[in-house]
Amino acid sequence: MQFGHIEGIKVGDTFESRKELADAGVHAPLMAGIWGAQEGAYSIVLSGGYEDDIDELNYILYTGQGGQDAPGGKQIADQTFSKGNKGLQLSCQYNLPVRVSRGHQIKNGPQFGYRYDGLYYVESYERIIGQRGFYICRFHLQSEDSINQLENKLKPSLKSSYERTIRATSTISRLKRNVKISENIKTLYDYKCQVCGVRLNSPSGPIAIGAHIKGLGQPHNGPDAIENMLCLCPNHHDQFDYYSYYIESDNFEIIGLEDFKSKKLNIHPRHKIDIEFLNYHKKKYFENNSLK
């Protein structure tokens, strides 16, 4: 068991069956779509088993395992961050590479069998209500290769029906953040966290994060604008991104942090936050905390 590429296996290599995929060391389970739990996920297979999946070749919105009446069947129960879902969660937290293989059952899969499509990284994850009304764990994976590189490597086995997904400009901007905007908001608050008021100093300068309220890129597609940003310390940035708390839009009260009950977000007079983004984050907070 190992993370990363398997020696002797190239991106684009195809296998007749799941057994061949397992024998090659790419993905060991013959049924489960996720391999790995306690140390992170070694690999996943896309074979059309979940209706909430989105596959754009170099970007995948992957539904976790569990809650179906049968493998590839209907969702009849909530999913939790356990087993393989826990593995993908750890892969995100520790930036571990995940091997991705696609089956012939899906649009972007090979013409037959299964194909190894290289390494992807879990950029974020969430727990939301899926199409069937049950909670599902979803993982956002991005290939280490660009879409052009992947298409070139996989071209011999791509189906004739393959078409590149047209991406919105807001998705592209996820890869091209405006550094000046992030630095401006940190300067505006003198690098002090808007939640706790702490300024963290280091030998190389103060530490703060220009955090987006509504995330950039899929599936949020928030704008890279100061109206959609907060100045946060690393701890409160991580807690904000993982929906440990939210900011009430009508009075800017901090909700969800035990040590900050009845406290409000510090807001500079020149910082105009768009409450639309706060309301969006609040909605995601309730979804991820299993509250309806």
Tens digits of residue pLDDT in 91-105? 998 899 999 999 999
Supply the range of the domain harboring residue 97.
14-166
Is 136 in contact with 64 (CB distance < 8 Å)? yes
For residues 178 and 160, the model is more confident at: 160
| Residue in the block written with tokens 């604008």 | 225
Domain final residue, candidates 112, 134, 166 = 166
107: in domain? yes
Lowest mean pLDDT among 123-127, 140-144, 193-197, 235-239: 123-127
120: in domain? yes
pLDDT at 174 over 50: no
Q: In this structure, what DSSP letter does residue 253 have?
A: B
2: in domain? no
Judgement on whether residues 135 and 216 belong to the same structural domain of the protein: no
Following DSSP, what letter does each residue of 59-108 receive, concatenated?
EEEEE-S--BSSTTS-B-S---S-HHHHHHHHHHHTT-EEEEEEETTSTT
Judgement on whether residues 122 and 223 belong to the same structural domain of the protein: no
Q: Which two tokens stand for residue 144?
A: 């280490």
258: in domain? yes
Lowest mean pLDDT among 70-84, 224-238, 254-268: 70-84
CA distance 105 to 159: 11
**pTM of the predicted model over 0.75:** no
Which residues touch 86 (CB under 8 Å, ≥6 apart)? 37, 38
For residues 220 and 249, the model is more confident at: 249
Judgement on whether residues 153 and 23 belong to the same structural domain of the protein: yes
Structural domain count, the chain: 2
For residues 165 and 7, the model is more confident at: 7
Judgement on whether residues 175 and 282 belong to the same structural domain of the protein: yes
Domain final residue, candidates 132, 166, 200 = 166
Domain final residue, candidates 166, 193, 209 = 166
5: in domain? no
Q: Which two tokens stand for residue 143?
A: 């290939």
Average pLDDT over residues 266-286: 96
